[in-house]
Amino acid sequence: MFSLKEVRRLEDERVSAEADARRAQAEAARRAKAEAEQRARDDETRRVREEAERRQRAESEREARQREDRLRLEEAERRARVEGELKLRERQLLEDQRQRYSQERRAGRSAWRAAAAGTALLLALGGGLAVWSSRQHQAEKRALERELALQNEQTQAAQRAFDAKIRALEEKTRRYLGQARTAQDQARLMSELQREKQAIEATRPRPPRRTPPPTPPTAAPPPPTFRLPPKPQIPNEPLGGLPDSKSGAF
């Protein structure tokens, strides 16, 4: 009788051990499946994030090219405007000089003082415009460099904070999945963690827009060269051989 009970006990222990082994195997398979599904979801999330970043970079580069083209066009317009103003002033000065020279010739005086004054005025005008343009360009460049440095610093800080949140969430996911007992608990935890991850993804910092440096200003066109007329005998012509305004010799 004792042997029969012992055999039954051993058989019950064997059956219980086999059942426990089957349950452990099933639990291990379930966990492996859950981990594989989580890795697949993480891979898909990473792929979507990388695609969004790629589109954002492409958009930033396109905006940077548009800004660069706009700045280049504005610089060309500004240069054309400055050159137009210089040419207009040059014509005005030449006309004033021609009138004074004609009056001085008729009065029997030479025009060398008027020519020298006109040359000095044009030289001063061209130099002043060049200095003003250079200072303005340097100020814009320094302001742009400060703005870019601040944007980069803020973006790096936001990215570090975002990466820390993602790492904490991943650690929390692994810890909670290891503590879950049933598939229902795991599904509930995964749903909650997915909502947290989506909320964190919504705060992802965007890369700063690239801003091209301002186009350096071009130097002002050199002032026209004037010839100081000598003191010859006063001829019969009123203008005394002064080149015509259409020839552009001044």
Mean residue pLDDT across the chain: 77
Asked if the structure places residue 97 within a domain, the reply is: yes
Residue-wise pLDDT tens digits, 168-181: 887 878 777 777 77
Residue span of the structural domain in which 146 resides:
2-202
Reported pTM? 0.28
The whole-number pLDDT of residue 248 equals 41
Residue 246: pLDDT band by 50, 70, 90 thresholds? very low
Residue 113 lies inside a defined structural domain of this protein? yes
User: Read out DSSP for the chain?
Assistant: -HHHHHHHHHHHHHHHHHHHHHHHHHHHHHHHHHHHHHHHHHHHHHHHHHHHHHHHHHHHHHHHHHHHHHHHHHHHHHHHHHHHHHHHHHHHHHHHHHHHHHHHHHTT---HHHHHHHHHHHHHHHHHHHHHHHHHHHHHHHHHHHHHHHHHHHHHHHHHHHHHHHHHHHHHHHHHHHH--SHHHHHHHHHHHHHHHHHHHHTPPPPPPP-PPPPPPPPPPPPPPPP--------SSSSTTPPPTTTT--
238 lies in some domain: no
Mean pLDDT on 189-209: 75
Provide the number of structural domains found in the chain.
1
Q: Is 60 in contact with 209 (CB distance < 8 Å)?
A: yes
- Specify if 83 maps to a domain: yes
Any domain includes 169 = yes
Whether the pLDDT of residue 15 is over 70: the answer is yes
In a domain, 241, yes or no: no
Kindly tell me if the per-residue pLDDT of 240 is higher than 70. no
pLDDT tens digits for range 34-64: 999 999 999 999 999 999 999 999 999 999 9
In terms of phi and psi (left: phi > 0; alpha: psi -120 to 50; beta: otherwise), the region of 108 is left
| Rounded Cα–Cα distance for residues 208 and 65 (Å) | 14
Query: Which is it for the CA torsion 76, 77, 79, 80, positive or negative?
Result: positive
Residue 40 lies inside a defined structural domain of this protein = yes
Q: Residue 138 falls within a domain, yes or no?
A: yes
